[in-house]
Homo-oligomer: A and B are copies of this chain.
Amino acid sequence: MKKGSDNTMKDIALELGLSSSTVSRALQDHPHISQETKIKVNEAANRLGYSYNAVAASLRNSKSNTIGLIIPRISRYYQSTVITAIQNKLHEHKYNLMICQSNESHELEKELVNALYASRVEGLIVSSTLNTTDFAHFDVFSRSNRPLVFFDRVPKNYPAHKIQGDDYHGANMATNHLLTQGCRNVAFIGGPLFCNLYRERYEGYADALKGYELSPGPNRTFFHDLTKESALQSCEALFSGKRDTWPDAVFCCNDTVALAVTTYAKNRGVEIPAQLKITGYSNDPLTEIIKPTITSVEQYPSEVGTQAAGMIMNLIQQKLKPGKNYISVTIAVDLVKRDSTDK
């Protein structure tokens, strides 16, 4: 073997007195090659420690067998579960996954789109940054006809395929559940409304209230990043006045916030669920750990990932020919009732 480099098909050919065409075809089990030759080639390949060069094949075939993924953060339950599902699905099709984190930075997201395009990934799966409202940087993919699938954080007005949870229904179910349990003063803590996720959930929440001839009261709705810190600030606002102004329920748009609210209430001596009922979103395992256990909305992240990867593969293999149309798949959600809402 030449120093520092690998044996190639040419080396096998040389060794056997064949042409590299024959070697290539033999390794692909091409019908025009005799059994005898195939055996000799495979044997020589093993003997020489030959390793297929996917980069060269990728260039020649314009086929990288790689899919790109851009996601704000991978270290959250929902996200990492989606990734696992994508990964496993793609592996069935012998595709690799190149994962990039945008760290919620719009600029970084742009950069990553271009880097992945330069790597000639055959398709791109994206959950965009919270503050991505301009999606023009994804145009490279649409222009060159490479499948582009958004999930979770999906654009409203940008033409692309989408996999979404049924956010409206999830929030609507959760809020209705709170109302059924007798709550009439239900607060809402969510992300910014320009993000589809939270807008849908807000509407599901508001419509549920409407069903009871209620509407979101003053100082009852909060829109900010869904961290513990921000959640605690909203709690301060909610529970600052006299006791009779306090809410009797809080619908939280993720489980981190639900957890923070639960902890805050407990510290404040507010009894859950008797005086305050709480629902979260995502059904993070933590909701079952804390006392009281927290009612939450199951989003079936594995299903989301499997669908996203499956759709990308179908688009690549042209089993799916949407033409100028865009497909939008809504994944059903379920409300998992637990102690925080008295079941």
Closest Cβ of chain B to A32, distance in Å, is 24
- In the complex, A144 has a CB within 8 A of chain B: yes
A100 neighbours in B (Cβ, 8 Å): 87, 91, 96-97
Pairwise interchain contact B4-A145, C-beta atoms closer than 8 A: yes
Inter-chain CA distance A63–B81, complex, in Å, is: 32
Contact digits for A15-46, partner B, Cβ 8 Å, 1 yes 0 no? 00000000000000000000000000000000
Pairwise interchain contact B52-A118, C-beta atoms closer than 8 A: yes
A51 neighbours in B (Cβ, 8 Å): 114, 117-118, 140
Inter-chain CA distance A264–B83, complex, in Å, is: 32
Interface centre among A5, A51, A64, A94 (most CB of B within 10 A): A51
- In the complex, A54 has a CB within 8 A of chain B: yes
Pairwise interchain contact A74-B83, C-beta atoms closer than 8 A: yes
A49 neighbours in B (Cβ, 8 Å): 140, 143
Inter-chain CA distance A99–B86, complex, in Å, is: 11
A56 neighbours in B (Cβ, 8 Å): 59
> Which residues of A (129-155) have their CB < 8 Å from a CB of B?
140, 143-145
Closest Cβ of chain B to A230, distance in Å, is 17
Contact digits for A263-302, partner B, Cβ 8 Å, 1 yes 0 no? 0000000000000000000000110011100000000000
Closest Cβ of chain B to A88, distance in Å, is 7
Inter-chain CA distance A4–B83, complex, in Å, is: 29
- In the complex, A6 has a CB within 8 A of chain B: yes
Specify which of B55, B84, B143 is in contact with A75 (CB 8 Å cutoff). B84
A143 neighbours in B (Cβ, 8 Å): 49
Pairwise interchain contact A88-B103, C-beta atoms closer than 8 A: yes
A259 neighbours in B (Cβ, 8 Å): 289
Contact digits for A87-125, partner B, Cβ 8 Å, 1 yes 0 no? 110010010111111010000000000111111100000
- In the complex, A233 has a CB within 8 A of chain B: no
Inter-chain CA distance A53–B54, complex, in Å, is: 15
Pairwise interchain contact A119-B96, C-beta atoms closer than 8 A: yes
Known: A51-B118, A96-B119, A99-B99. 13 other contacts (CB 8 A): A4-B144, A5-B144, A49-B143, A55-B64, A55-B119, A59-B59, A80-B80, A87-B101, A94-B115, A96-B98, A96-B115, A285-B286, A286-B289
Can you list 7 pairs linking A and B with CB atoms under 8 Å apart?
Answer: A4-B145, A51-B117, A51-B140, A55-B58, A75-B84, A94-B115, A96-B116
